[in-house]
Structure 1
Amino acid sequence: MNSDYLYKEWNVSKNAVKVGMIGRVNGWKGQNDFIDALVPLLSEFDNLYLFIVGSAFQGQEWRVKDLKKKINSLPNHNRIIFSEFRKDNYAVEHFFDILVLPSTSPDPLPTVVLESMGCGRAIIGYAHGGITEMIKDGYNGKLVTPGDKVALRKAVKTCLSHNEYVKLGKNSRIRLVNQYSLKKFIGNFMKVYSEH
């Protein structure tokens, strides 16, 4: 998948390490937790860029406005990229090195996690909802206590400090193929039907 055009579009250096989230801008997807947790890392890692991709529901555009205002007030805000809804999420998921899912309420089936696993990306998120079935902590990502922004920061920092995200990403792809592929899905259905 060629996602190189995003370097130019977002004015990102080629040696960047890219940590992002994708999701509707609403009251529980966790954009503010993402910012609060990870912005301090921009001072520690000169090549780190943060990305938030998503739009608000009609009538809640104020959430996007508030988010942009918050981002612009922060140090190193030139390395925080906000993009509203896009149709090339597959390329974006390939572009990221780490996907973060900081949903403050449990997300029952976060498909962005499965898609990013398919792209061979490390996943870090709050340990509730469907992500707990998709991510094997320490194998293809890291799960932390919901709402614990310090723990979220530490998990991302560890992945960055030792380039651990590369190994976790490779394992994500393996786990997706072994556990969530179409072949596995059909096989599980056949097994259920054959038992009854």
Structure 2
Amino acid sequence: MVLHLSTFHLEGGAGVAATRLHRALVKAGIESEMLVPSSLLEEDNVTSLAENKWDSRVAWGRFVAERLYFLPQEKDKSIRFAFSPAEVGADVSQHPLVERANIIHLHWINFGFLSINSLSKLFSLGKPVVWTLHDMWTFTGGCHYSRGCNHYLNHCCYCPFLAKPDQYDISFSQFEFKKDLYDQTRLALISPSLWLDKTVKTAALTKHLHSLNIPNCIDTAIFKPLNTAEIRAKLQLPANKRFILFVGANTQDPRKGFNFFREAMALLRKDFDDLEVLILGKARAIAFDEFPVPVHYLGKITRTEDLINAYNAVDLIVVPSLEDNLPNTIMEAMACAIPAVGFATGGIPEMIDHQVNGYVSENRSAASLAEGISWIIQNNSNGDLSSNAREKVLNTYSEHIIAEKYRILYQSMLNE
């Protein structure tokens, strides 16, 4: 049995990706279970540590304790959730599912779910461990994305995320703890993107470990093209406009590149008088003040059906992330036959085949982003880009393809 450990069930990109893999494995006939701190939705083969209100409060308390530990050390509030010290976590090593598991499969496990000490107890069980990386935390001294810092290539210290960087700061100590931890068990590191896999192979903590690239997966029977006119009518959107989609978990997060998107739309306004944007995610109303084109804000969407409708209401999606692994948003949009525009960073160029199913823009260039949007508008009148986008997902990210890759990996680790 494979047991997936994830901080989130169906929340956040990492939680969604973990759950999709778990479901794909079950469909493929692989015995798969999932253990999460708490869940708002009951699902077969998904177990929550929080079985009652008290347990939920304890889980929340671990999250609060983790953040309070880091609070006096953070440089400023902009990086509050960009660094995880992994000081507080639950001990799941004696949980019945852990005891029954043949393979422990880790995903994103921060925010008070598993600490370094929790991981050490898990690793000491001697069971094979697969770890799907959803960001850079596994091989850094605590940051989830390094924002240009390359200390992880040698040894983390003088961390730019901290208020008082020092040779022996908490990034140094976490780095040391991880170095000892990774020598304890059979460990395979899986990167959804080739970019992250290449980084794993150069990072000081992980370059000697078994690592490979296996993308995330998606259910292409659910995420599929629908009738655009019907969806727009349902969402009360004008039928005669060109719609561009921006999806950000938080539009205020600089890593999501919302300001580049805004600037690109300002550049395009003079060439197209029928552009409007659809925006999903957490945002403050002030973010759309004086936006260069009309905005339709749908807020944070949690229902899959609503998300699929949003994709099918637009002409293209723009993902101007400044750092990213293998964004679910691009995969979801392309599965719905929606071309994508994104910066040449992280795993984005692996998903978007330039001028085949979308457009890869020069990193951090609003002008290049605008050029990409314009190119898709002018070159997708026959729907070829849309068809190619759907085809890319079917051939690369379908559930059965990814489940089989993991089946081979699990078997090889059990045979060692």
Q: Same fold (TM over 0.5)?
A: yes
Match of 2:311 in 1: 93
Using the alignment, how far apart are the partners of 1:117 and 1:188 within structure 2? 22
Aligned in 2, Cα 1:5/1:47: closer, same or farther, shift over 3 Å? same
CA contact (8 A) 1:117 1:176 kept: yes
Aligned in 2, Cα 1:160/1:85: closer, same or farther, shift over 3 Å? same
What is the Cα deviation at residue 65 of structure 1? 3.3
Using the alignment, how far apart are the partners of 1:162 and 1:186 within structure 2? 35
CA contact (8 A) 1:2 1:91 kept: no
- Mapped pair 1:172 → 2:386: no
Match of 1:61 in 2: none
Which runs of no fewer than 5 residues in structure 2 stay unpaired? Answer: 1-225
Aligned in 2, Cα 1:175/1:8: closer, same or farther, shift over 3 Å? closer
What is the Cα deviation at residue 48 of structure 1? 2.1
Of 255, 259, 279, the match for 1:52 = 279
Of 299, 322, 328, the match for 1:84 = 299
Which runs of no fewer than 5 residues in structure 1 stay unpaired? Answer: 57-63
Question: What value does the CA root-mean-square deviation take over the aligned residues?
Answer: 2.3
Aligned in 2, Cα 1:9/1:178: closer, same or farther, shift over 3 Å? closer
What is the Cα deviation at residue 90 of structure 1? 1.3
SS in 2 for 1:99: strand
Q: Which has the larger helix fraction? A: 1
CA contact (8 A) 2:318 2:342 kept: yes
Of 358, 361, 364, the match for 1:144 = 361
What is the Cα deviation at residue 9 of structure 1? 4.1
Task: Give every structure 1 segment of 4 or more consecutive aligned residues whose post-TM-superposition deviation is greater than 6 Å.
Answer: none
CA contact (8 A) 1:20 1:51 kept: yes
What is the Cα deviation at residue 194 of structure 1? 6.1
Q: Match of 1:93, as an amino acid?
A: Y
Map 1:61-80 onto structure 2 (within 5 A). Answer: 64-71=284-291, 74=292, 77=293, 79-80=294-295
Using the alignment, how far apart are the partners of 1:5 and 1:42 within structure 2? 25
Q: Match of 1:70, as an amino acid?
A: E
- Mapped pair 1:23 → 2:266: no
Report which structure shows greater RCO (CA 8 Å, sep ≥6).
1
Q: Which has the larger radius of gyration?
A: 2
Aligned in 2, Cα 1:48/1:166: closer, same or farther, shift over 3 Å? farther
Map 1:116-131 onto structure 2 (within 5 A). Answer: 116-131=333-348
Aligned in 2, Cα 1:27/1:160: closer, same or farther, shift over 3 Å? same
Aligned in 2, Cα 1:70/1:47: closer, same or farther, shift over 3 Å? closer
Is the deviation greater in 85-94 or in 148-157? Answer: 85-94
CA contact (8 A) 1:113 1:123 kept: yes
